[in-house]
Every structure is written in C-alpha cells, then in structure tokens.
Homo-oligomer: A and B are copies of this chain.
Amino acid sequence: MALPAQVTIVEVGPRDGFQMEKTFIPTETKVAIIDGLVRAGIRRMEVTSFVNPKVIEQMRDAEEVMRAVDRTRGVVYIGLVPNLKGAQRAIAAGVDAMKIVICPSQSYNLRNVGMTVEESLRTCEELIALGRANDVEAEVVIGLSFGCPLEGPIPEDRIVDLTGKVVAMGYSEVSIADSIGVANPSQVRRMMRRLQDGFPRVHFSLHLHNTRGLGLANVLAALDEGIDTFDSSIGGLGGSPVVVAGATGNIPTEDLVNMLNEMGLGTGIDTEGVMVASRMAQDFLGRPLPSFVLAAGTRERLFRRARERQEAQRATG
C-alpha cells in the first residue's frame, strides 16, 4: 500500500506531557508553548485536561488556558475529559473537540478514572450526545490496546469489541493507544489492518509511546497500513503513571515530524518551529528532554553547515 501523502500530528504535550510535571507550569508558559506549536504548523492539539484539579493540580488552569490561547482558524483545540462533569466544563470553555479514554482492562480503568469499563461506556454514550447537542467533536481513546501493566496481554478481540461498541454509539474518530509502549510493528500492522477492515467508515489514529524505543518504527508500520494520524508530545514529554524510572514516554513531536518530513510526506509542520516550543518547555523544566532531534539537530542543519564550510574554504582557498 502507498504511504499516506499527508499525515496529521496531534500534539499532546500540553496535556499528556504537562500533567506528569510536579512543578506547576504557569499558564502564560503553557500558552506560549501552545501558541508556538500552532505557529510551527500544528493543527490538532490536546491543550489541557478538564480533570478534577484535586486529582491533577497541574491542570487546574484548564479554563484559563483555553481563554488565553490565540485561537487560530483551522486549529482544533482538544480538551481531555475524564467524565461528564469535565465535558461540561470543556464545552463551557469552548474546546473544539473532547477526548475520553477508556481502557479494556477492568482493573486499570477503575484505577484510571474510578469507573468500571461498563460505566465508562455509558459515559462515552452520554458524551457523544452532549457533544452533538453543543456542536463539539467527541473522540474515544482506547488505552492499553496492546497490553496492560496490571493485566498483561490484552486480546485483540477485546479491542475490536470495544471499538464496535463505541462505533455503534456514533463515534467515527477512534484513537488506539499503546500507553505503556509495549507494541511492536507486526502487532501494530495486524491490529490496524483488522480494525480498518472491520470498521471501514471509522477514522483511526494512533497514540504510541516510545518506552522501548519502538515509537517511530510503530508509526512506520501503521503508515504502511494507511494510518495518517498520530499523537506525539514536544520533546517526548509525558508518559504513563506506571512507567519505570528513567524510562521515557511519548514519541517526541520533533522526532516524528522530522521522520515524516524527511520521508517526503506532507505534515505542514516545521521541525525547527516545533523545537522552539520544545526548548521553551526544556528551559522551564530545567532538564534535557528525551528528544533525539532536539539533541542532534536536523540533517538539514548539519548539511547547511557543511555547505557553508565548503563555501568559506573556496572563498579563502
């Protein structure tokens, strides 16, 4: 199959990345990073989470962030919502889209959102109705689709079954997540082929983690199956609450954009522009972020330096 000519990157750093940070990031810093990412060409972004501030204090400024960002035409500002209360806040705050996570593992779903899978499914049903009534997109993320830290392997059938249930509710955007970075390229291909064959009218995207270094290889495998939308996080910020110390989480946006741009696939995103936003986050957090391109620079920059050196030598020689 031919690779998709255009690929959409969903930036999740301001939500998935920031929520893992213990030090509160001032609203203006969050907004500066979000606006910087839009200037770099990001067109879909999880900007915040409408979670109970007592649970995730970092997200206590969700409404303020939504008010302060430079709303740009054509950019979809997404809010994560854990429940209907969060959805009502998100709609009142003016998000373009809401995402809700459901996990196929009963024990993890309980731990993550305090609901059984069945309760989460009922919430999904109410959420899409609420979204329709308010003209706000709703999307389901099926977390831990490739394995669970509490239950181990998750049968593919269970993901297909859950997908079927949310599709029956009317969802047409489904994100398949490997929240703990256990998927491999063969598994990604198999899963995405099966889901796309089974639900031809649904648009699937992937949320992949880089925990075992397989993030970009898994993206490549999915591109081969025609998947054209991927989550990533500036600088590789964020991860799962159950990651091992020293392990990394999300795919760094600049690494993903760099790969796609280098392959000649259209992203509409400027790698250097993303790096400007990543450096803002890095400077604020005061530690090097786990992004390769941020550390090494782009090939283009390396070759530009080579060209300049050659020209200088010619001029002096």
Contacts and interface: CB of A to CB of B under 8 A. Distances in A.
Interface of A: 3, 147-153, 180-182, 184-187, 210-214, 216-217, 219-221, 224, 243-244, 246-248, 252, 255, 258-259, 262-264, 288, 291-293, 295-299, 302-303, 306-307, 309-310
Contact of A213 (B247, B255, B297): B255
B153 A296 contact: no
A122 B309 CA distance: 30
A308 to B, nearest CB: 10
A217 B259 contact: yes
B211 A244 contact: no
Given A212-B293, A247-B295, A147 B303 contact: yes
Contact of A296 (B212, B219, B292): B212
A296 B181 contact: yes
Contacts of A296: 181, 211-212, 243-244, 246-248
B263 A210 contact: no
Given A182-B299, A259-B217, A302-B182, A288 B246 contact: yes
A153 B262 CA distance: 13
Given A214-B292, A220-B220, 20 more contacts: A148-B306, A149-B306, A150-B306, A150-B310, A152-B306, A152-B307, A180-B302, A184-B259, A185-B263, A186-B262, A212-B259, A212-B296, A213-B291, A213-B292, A213-B293, A217-B217, A217-B259, A220-B221, A244-B296, A244-B297
